[in-house]
Structure 1
Amino acid sequence: MRYLVLSDIHGNWPALQAVLEAAPSFDGVLFLGDAVGYYPDGDRVLDWLMDVGAQCVLGNHDAWLLALDRLPKEGVVLEILAWQRARLSPRHLDFLASWPWQKEVEGALLVHGSPCDPLEYLDGLELARQAFACTDHRLTFHGHTHLAGAFLELSGPRPWVRYQRLAEGGELILPPTVRALVNPGSVGQPRDHVPGAAFALWEGDGITFFRVGYNLDQVAQRLAEEGFPPWLYTRLTLGE
């Protein structure tokens, strides 16, 4: 099986379209959370995830949208989520509510943040060591940081952990003695200073990382149409 691995789309439909145009053929879709938030087209993203039968886990923006009735409506992020929720159908909300915090697919663990905590930003070696200690899985896919790369653990009496940045793309082959925490990067809002939509393909022991450019003016137009803050466009141009 070859899986398209996606994370942090955040309602950015033009970015997802670019991924689908660029991606080689795949047999299934793994989604690591945050379909909604930031950009206007969360409903279209959810429609697509439903249509392809994606296997999904919950992200923090997804959870916040579902819990809006219990959260203060303060700050741009929650205002955007409230705007999006008003435009989602009961079918969309039921679909989101069905997502677990963690899921296993063909021996790999899917989680938004960390195996220790689905809301934790896995962005340092010590946190990676803790994350490896929280799971027995050889391969974990996560998102949340919007940074494409992998933490690798070489087994032994004193496990050695290092980080491999993959923002510009590349291929990762996992030897039998290595475990990995893999982040495909963000489709909708990269934060590793490389603009474009990030995604990965997973097949067997190999994960291939991609970054594809697209017309950011399409996003700017959607933001203007819906009255979203222009800094959301600026972040895309900078990859941050």
Structure 2
Amino acid sequence: MRYLVLADIHGNWPALEAVLQAAPPFDRVLFLGDAVGYYPDGDRVLDFLLEVGAEGVLGNHDAWLLALEQLPVEGPVLEILAWQRKRLSRRHLDYLASWPWQKEVEGALLVHGSPCDPFTYLDDLAPAREAFACTEKELVLHGHTHLAGAFLALEGPRLWVRHQAFPQGGELLLSPKVRALVNPGSVGQPRDGVPGAAFLLWEGRKLEFFRVDYPLNRVEARLLEEGFPLWLLERLKVGQ
């Protein structure tokens, strides 16, 4: 089975569309959270995930949108989520609410942040070590940091952990004794200094990272059309 693995789309439909046009053939879609937030087209993103029957887990922006009635709507992040929620159907909301915090697929664990806590960022060796201690799974697929790469662990007298970044794409073959925390990078808002939409193809112990360009003027047009702040576009230009 070959999986298209997506994370952190954040309502950026032009980015997702570019991924779908560039992706090699795949069998199923796995989604690692944060369909909504930041960019205007959360509804279109959810339509796609529903259409293909994607198996997803809840991200922090997804959870915040669902819990807006219990949150003070202050600051641009929650204001955007409140704007998006008004445009989502009951079908969209029920679909979001059906996502678990964690899910197992073919022996791999899907989670937005860390196996210890879905809101924890796996952005350094210390939280990565803690994450490996929180699960016995050989492969964890996660998002949240918007950084394409993998933490690799090898058991010995002590746990040996290193990080390998894939901002420009590349291939990772996992040996039988290695455990991995793998992040495909963000479709909608990369933060590793490389513009473009990131995604991953996973098949067995082979993981292929991709980064694809797309016309940012389409994002700009949507931001202007809906009155969204243009700093969102500036982030995309520099991959931050």
Corresponding residue of 1:166 = 166
1:25-174 counterparts in 2 under 5 A? 25-174=25-174
Q: Map residues 160-199 of structure 1 onto 2, 5 A cutoff.
A: 160-199=160-199
Q: Which runs of 5+ in 2 are unaligned?
A: none
> Helix, strand or coil for the counterpart of 1:200?
strand
| Distance in 1 of aligned mates of 2:73 and 2:203 | 42
Secondary structure of the structure 2 residue equivalent to 1:187:
coil
SS of equivalent to 2:4: strand
Q: Shift in Å at residue 85 of structure 1?
A: 0.2
Q: Distance in 2 between matches of 1:116 and 1:157?
A: 23
Match of 1:219 in 2: 219
Q: Structure 2: how far apart are the matches of 1:40 and 1:10?
A: 8
Distance 1:118 1:128 in 2: 13
Asked if 1:16 corresponds to 2:16, the answer is yes
Secondary structure of 2:95's match? helix
Aligned equivalents of 1:237, 1:124: Cα separation in 2: 25
2:5 counterpart residue number: 5
1:104-140 CA-partner distances (Å, limit 9, x unpaired): 0000000000000000011000110000000000000
Instruction: For residue 157 of structure 1, report the CA deviation from its aligned partner.
Output: 2.2
Q: TM-score, normalised by structure 2?
A: 1.00
| Structure 1 match to 2:239 | 239
For residue 117 of structure 1, what is the amino acid of its counterpart? D
Cα deviation, residue 156, structure 1:
1.8
Runs in 1 of length 4+ with deviation above 4 angstroms?
Answer: none
The Cα shift of 1:155 comes to 1.8
Letter in 2 for 1:206: K
Partner of 2:228: 228
SS in 2 for 1:16: helix
* 1:153-177 Cα distance to aligned partner (Å, 9 max, x none): 0122212100000011000000011
The separation in 2 between residues aligned to 1:107 and 1:29, in whole angstroms, is: 16
Determine the C-alpha separation between the residues in 2 that align with 1:178 and 1:155. 8
Q: What is the root-mean-square deviation of aligned Cα atoms in Å?
A: 0.4
In 2, distance between residues paired with 1:160 and 1:73?
Answer: 43
- C-alpha displacement at 1:204, in angstroms? 0.6
How many residues are paired up? 240
**Separation in 1, partners of 2:95, 2:157:** 44
Determine helix, strand or coil for the equivalent of 1:15: helix
